[in-house]
Structure 1
């Protein structure tokens, strides 16, 4: 190979390596999630419901906060109180970053769960929790949007009934993007770990 040809080859190789290095620097490193990564597979946080103070709210009202969304109801005998208790412990373990987090507890029992009832219920577990209620149609549409499911049992003579529902926790970043799914088997350690990552992510303008 002639010296001039060799020199051009070396310069081209250096340019190619520099371009590859620049491209690698521009790619954002992927977080090492422990929970199920649903980025790009579920829609952004979007709804129009009533919060536990009787105020009409939308998903946009929680922009800037990392959101943990859970479908349940106040008459739930076991899963809901256990889940809200676990989330309270998780946020306490998270420490100062927990101020950037909100728990959204969406009622699948609009018939019995009024804003006032929801307010007393969620605040008994954590002050960062918000109860959300809506019409049957609104709640069903929201559950369908995130591939959740629930079924109300027939009313008994005493007016009591149970509601079977999914028990996954949906995690959204501060931009309202669906990021993670925590199943009932997820450990507190894993949820705390991923919340640390979510709360430390920079929000794009």
Structure 2
């Protein structure tokens, strides 16, 4: 898997950020969208529980939530969504081209079927998280991040490994 590499807009401050802004932190990368009825809120909830279990060690971890639905996910809505879970969640948004490039880099499938009728507007995305070490190297990927205890264990191990 490739190392962490992106250029996107951070929802908290509207600033353009790159992967270099997160060097020195353990990074959890998740693709999703704020209107997601199940996978995204469950995954972020589990990650938040895992971070809580880490206590002070959680300061070394940053969760990056990249929207696959930039037409509806404004910077404000992304910021509010991430903040509802944890202050350690950074909502990120990009252009269609930036998103396509990033999704292709990590082999993430997604599709958006736009419609003026909200019942017909459909979004699909891969339910996967990527965990990168402090240098931006991939260390773990999970297609089933449902167990907060397992996530906490894996993140704690990585934080302890990366001390220094």
Q: TM-score range by the shorter chain?
A: over 0.9
| Stretches of structure 1 lacking an aligned partner (at least 5 in a row) | 1-41
Q: Deviations over 1:77-119 (max 9, x none)?
A: 1111111111110100111110000000000011111111110
Q: How many residues in Structure 1 have an aligned counterpart in Structure 2?
A: 163
Aligned equivalents of 2:118 and 2:90: distance in 1? Answer: 29
Equivalent in the alignment of 1:45: 4
Q: Deviations over 1:178-201 (max 9, x none)?
A: 110112265222211111111112
3-state SS, counterpart of residue 85 of structure 2: coil
Instruction: Indicate conservation of the 8 Å contact 1:175/1:203, yes or no.
Output: no
3-state SS, counterpart of residue 124 of structure 1: helix
Q: Is residue 202 from structure 1 mapped to residue 153 from structure 2 by the alignment?
A: no
Report the Cα offset of residue 169 of structure 1. Answer: 0.7
Equivalent in the alignment of 2:52: 92
TM-score of the pair, normalised by structure 1: 0.75
Q: 1:176 to 1:99 in 2, by over 3 A?
A: same
Pick aligned residue for 1:165 from 125, 131, 140: 125
Decide which structure has the larger Cα Rg and report it: 1
Equivalent in the alignment of 2:72: 112
Instruction: Indicate conservation of the 8 Å contact 1:68/1:102, yes or no.
Output: yes
Q: Is residue 123 from structure 1 mapped to residue 83 from structure 2 by the alignment?
A: yes
Q: Deviations over 1:117-167 (max 9, x none)?
A: 110110011110000000011011101101111011241435861210001
TM-score of the pair, normalised by structure 2: 0.93
Show structure 1 runs of 4+ deviating over 6 A.
none
Q: 1:161 to 1:73 in 2, by over 3 A?
A: same
